[in-house]
């Protein structure tokens, strides 16, 4: 790991590989904050909603008819009970002729009981089904997003911190969960119930029905204004949470640097501010949200007042019975409930819109590096590589490489040297086509690398990076990452070849020792040897190696040099070289300066020349 690069990351607005211009996308207080997700307001988008619901399609045919059946059954039974009540009052308890009928009362009570049981079964089954659909949709959406992100090119990740990507796969997808499990079906149930109730109310007494229903548009008018505010408030909450998550990821990854520079208090203060911001925005949103319920209740109360006042008048006029008024009141009670839920559902939809907007933004991101329509597979590579007048810009107008010409024969080892920022890593990134060149041409065995299928190219190129990435899992798993179908024997063989076997056997469980994420329990040299074993197992035709700069003891250094010899044998290799021992053995040393080749030759030739290379080597020794 390069500590200098890490500290750069911590400085607000400092230039680094991820933020080369030192541009500050957003600053909170003194610190750098990534503000990609800060789009507060976007219009409600039906096409996006349709796109989201397309994820339900595979399950809709299979399960939706059943869900609908249960829904209709539940609604019918629910709406029939008040009618039975009215009949019990008017015909059994207080009939006009005064002949009360206990038998009819028992019958109606039994019928109501049966309806309740049917309603209970229907709703239990419906909830079970909708949960299954919801969980499957979320699973599919999360998988789709993850698979897509795996394919995105380096420049996508250059632009955003890992935390922001993480938030979309976790929080944003989760926030859609409620919508898919209950939201959609509840929406349908509420709509069906509302229509059913309005029809029944009109059938019982259209004058009374109209008087009650008339309060609805008034309520909608008042609540529309509140809804816009609620929507904005929830978007703000999501944005603040997203910021926290983004920052969390970075601070946990950088915890060593934080502690080394005793920046803990500073970090806590910064986090606290973000945390407080998030809390405040949540408070605001939830206060607004809470206002919605009472608003509906007040309107509902007014509706009930109208009902009893007008209902009593109609009874006096002989146009309504007491039983029907009781049933009416029960229906009206059931009427406000779905309206209230629809209001909440609207909020849920707004939250889901914000999340899906962000999810689709990622899904719509096309990989910049992709196969041409007529790309053909890369044949087995021999290893002749040519760079012809290669120009490359990460960002328009800022060339990182300015016309590089290089001719490498199969099996040669090329050492790339030069000051920091001179373009060494850029060259190795271009060879694997992690970025496409801006001008010129790179050919391998005479084939332009843009004309061949990417996977057939990359599978023949092995890369060992300076910051060797160790995944959580066993040592064996980590080596096997080089070739998944390798046998245990092959894994041990490569480990022995790079002299890693000895230290692995000293670990508590040998090859089955679990290493935590990033291999913190291993030393730098050990991690390097593991990554060599991984590369050797992949047996690539071309090897790219970014040599670690960290100083290691002489014994490990010797081990690594021996391992390198094994690794480089018979392959074309590009090494961003820092160690003299590596550089000296290279067939060709390419000295880069500000994106151009300054000198080229072997160690002796360049030393005799007494130019830039000579200066670099001298400086290294002076430093040591």
Binding residues for ligand ATP, rule: CB under 6 A, are 17, 20, 158, 394-395, 400, 418, 420-426
| H-type alpha helices, 88-159 | 102-151, 154-159
In the complex, least distance from residue 193 CB atom to ligand ATP, rounded to whole angstroms: 56
For ligand ATP, the closer of residues 51 and 402 by Cβ is 402
Crossing angle of the two packed helices 215-253 and 322-363, in degrees rounded to 10? 30
Least distance from C-beta 614 to ligand ATP, angstroms? 19
Quick one: 394 or 532, whose CB is closer to ligand ATP? Answer: 394
Strand partners, 442: 387
Of the pair 13, 570, the CB lying nearest ligand ATP is at 13
Nearer to ligand ATP, 208 or 431 (CB): 431
**Rg of the chain taking only CA atoms, in angstroms:** 35
User: Which residue number, 17 or 279, has a Cβ lying nearer to ligand ATP?
Assistant: 17
Rounded Cα distance between 342 and 183, Å, is 9
Give the number of other CB atoms < 10 A from CB of residue 135.
Answer: 13
**What are the two backbone dihedrals, phi and then psi, of residue 250, each rounded to the nearest 5 degrees?**
-65, -40
The CA distances from residue 171 to 352, 377, 388, in Å, are 11, 39, 46
In three-state secondary structure terms, 263 is: coil
> What is the token pair recorded at 408?
């490498």
Q: How far is the CB of 294 from ligand ATP (least distance, A)?
A: 53
Give least dist CB 420 to ligand ATP, A. 3
Query: Considering only CA atoms, which of 577, 576, 578, 491 is closest in space to residue 536?
Result: 491
The three-state DSSP-derived secondary structure of 434-496 is CCCCCEEEEEECCEEHHHECHHHHHCCEEEECCCCCCCCEEHHHHHHCCCCCCCHHHHHHHHH
Q: Please report how close the Cβ of residue 248 comes to ligand ATP at its closest, in angstroms.
A: 23
Q: Is 232 exposed, middle or buried (0-12, 13-18, 19+ CB in 10 A)?
A: middle
Closer to ligand ATP by Cβ: residue 496 or 594:
594
**Under 8 Å between Cβ of 420 and 619:** no
Residue closer to ligand ATP (CB basis): 299 or 422: 422
* Residue closer to ligand ATP, measured from CB, 300 or 399: 399
Structure tokens at 284: 């605001």
Q: How far is the CB of 424 from ligand ATP (least distance, A)?
A: 4
Query: CB 583 → ligand ATP: shortest distance, Å?
Result: 14
Residues in contact with 262: Cβ distance below 8 Å, sequence separation at least 6, in sequence order: none
Instruction: Please classify residue 360 by burial: count the beta carbons closer than 10 Å to its beta carbon, then call 0-12 exposed, 13-18 middle and 19+ buried.
Output: middle
Element housing 591 (H / E): strand 588-593
Terminal CA-to-CA distance of the chain, rounded, Å? 19
**In the complex, what is the shortest distance from the CB of residue 17 to ligand ATP, in angstroms, rounded to a whole number?**
4
514: closest CA among 552, 549, 484, 470?
A: 470
Shortest Å distance, C-beta 220 to ligand ATP: 51
What is the rounded CA–CA span in Å between residue 374 and residue 187?
48
Query: Of 18 and 62, which has the nearer Cβ to ligand ATP?
Result: 18
Smallest gap from residue 417 Cβ to ligand ATP (A): 9
Distance, in Å, from the CA atom of 22 to the CA atom of 112, rounded to the nearest integer, reads 72
- 544 phi/psi in degrees, rounded to 5: -120, 130
| Neighbour count for residue 229 (Cβ, 10 Å) | 14
> Residues near 490 by Cβ (< 8 Å), separated by ≥ 6?
483, 537
223 within 8 A of 295, measured Cβ to Cβ? yes
Q: How far apart are CA 613 and CA 592, in angstroms?
A: 9
Which of 346, 434 has the CB closer to ligand ATP? 434
CB-CB contact of 381 with 542 (8 Å)? yes
Identity of the residue, 400 or 461, whose beta carbon is nearer to ligand ATP in the bound complex:
400
Q: Please, what is the minimum distance in Å from the beta carbon of residue 576 to ligand ATP?
A: 6
Looking at the Cβ atoms of 254 and 418, the one nearer to ligand ATP is 418
Could you say which DSSP state residue 412 is in?
Answer: -
Q: Which is nearer to ligand ATP, 231 or 579 (CB)?
A: 579
Task: In angstroms, give the least distance from the CB of 578 to ligand ATP.
Answer: 8
SS3 386: strand
Q: Which is nearer to ligand ATP, 439 or 510 (CB)?
A: 439
**Smallest distance from the beta carbon of 385 to ligand ATP, in angstroms?**
18
Tokens standing for 615?
A: 């200066």
CB of residue 228 to ligand ATP, shortest distance in Å:
40
């Amino acid at each position: 790991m390069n500590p200098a690069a890490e500290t750069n990351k911590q400085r607000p607005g400092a230039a680094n590989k991820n933020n080369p211009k030192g541009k500050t996308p957003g600053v909170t207080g003194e610190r750098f904050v990534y503000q990609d997700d800060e789009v507060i307001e976007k219009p409600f988008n039906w096409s996006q909603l349709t796109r989201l619901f397309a994820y339900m399609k595979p399950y809709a045919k299979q399960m939706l008819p059943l869900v609908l059946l249960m829904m209709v059954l539940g609604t019918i039974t629910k709406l029939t009970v008040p009618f039975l009540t009215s009949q019990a009052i008017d015909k059994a308890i207080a009939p006009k002729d005064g002949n009360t009928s206990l038998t009819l009362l028992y019958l109606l009570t039994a019928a109501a009981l049966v309806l309740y049981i049917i309603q209970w079964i229907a709703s239990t089954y419906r909830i079970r089904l909708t949960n299954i659909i919801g969980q499957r949709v979320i699973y599919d959406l999360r998988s789709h997003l993850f698979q897509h992100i795996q394919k995105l090119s380096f420049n996508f990740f250059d632009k955003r911190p890992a935390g922001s990507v993480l938030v979309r796969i976790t929080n944003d997808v989760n926030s859609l969960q409620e919508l898919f499990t209950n939201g959609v079906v509840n929406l349908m149930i509420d709509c069906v119930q509302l229509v059913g109730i309005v029809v029944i109310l009109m059938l019982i007494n259209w004058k009374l029905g109209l008087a009650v229903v008339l309060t609805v548009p008034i309520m909608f008018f008042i609540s529309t204004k509140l809804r816009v505010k609620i929507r904005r408030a929830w978007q703000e909450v999501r944005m603040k949470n997203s910021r926290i998550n983004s920052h969390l990821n970075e601070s946990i990854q950088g915890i060593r640097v934080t502690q080394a520079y005793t920046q803990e208090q500073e970090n806590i203060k910064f986090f606290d501010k973000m945390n407080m911001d998030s809390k405040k925005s949540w408070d605001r949103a939830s206060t607004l949200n809470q206002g919605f319920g009472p608003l509906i209740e007040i309107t509902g109360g007014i509706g009930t007042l109208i009902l009893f006042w007008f209902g009593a008048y109609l009874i006096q006029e002989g146009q309504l019975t007491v039983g029907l008024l009781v049933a009416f009141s029960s229906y009206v009670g059931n009427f406000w409930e779905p309206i209230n839920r629809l209001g909440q559902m609207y909020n849920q939809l707004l939250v889901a819109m914000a999340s899906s907007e962000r999810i689709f933004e990622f899904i719509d991101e096309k990989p910049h590096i992709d196969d041409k329509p007529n790309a053909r597979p890369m044949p087995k590579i021999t290893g002749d590589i040519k760079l012809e007048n290669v120009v490359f810009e990460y960002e328009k107008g800022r060339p990182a490489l300015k016309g590089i010409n290089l001719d490498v024969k199969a099996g040669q080892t090329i050492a790339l040297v030069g000051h920091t920022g001179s373009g060494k890593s850029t060259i190795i990134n271009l060879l694997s086509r992690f970025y496409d060149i801006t001008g010129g041409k790179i050919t391998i065995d005479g084939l332009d690398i843009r004309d061949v299928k990417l996977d057939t190219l990359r599978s023949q190129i092995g890369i060992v990076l300076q910051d060797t990435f160790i995944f959580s899992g066993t040592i064996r798993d980590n080596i096997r990452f080089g070739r998944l179908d390798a046998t245990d024997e092959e894994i041990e063989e490569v480990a022995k070849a790079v002299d890693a076997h000895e230290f692995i056997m000293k670990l508590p469980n040998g090859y089955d020792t679990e290493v935590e994420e990033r291999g913190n329990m291993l030393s730098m040299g050990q991690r390097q040897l593991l990554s060599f074993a991984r590369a050797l197992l992949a047996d690539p035709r071309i090897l790219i190696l970014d040599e670690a700069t960290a100083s290691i003891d002489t014994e490990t250094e010797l081990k690594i040099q021996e391992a390198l010899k094994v690794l480089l044998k018979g392959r074309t290799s590009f090494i961003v070289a820092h160690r003299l021992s590596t550089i000296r053995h290279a067939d060709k040393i390419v000295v880069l300066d500000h994106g151009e080749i300054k000198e080229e030759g072997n160690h002796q030739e360049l030393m005799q020349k007494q130019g830039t290379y000579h200066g670099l080597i001298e400086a290294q020794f002076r430093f040591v």
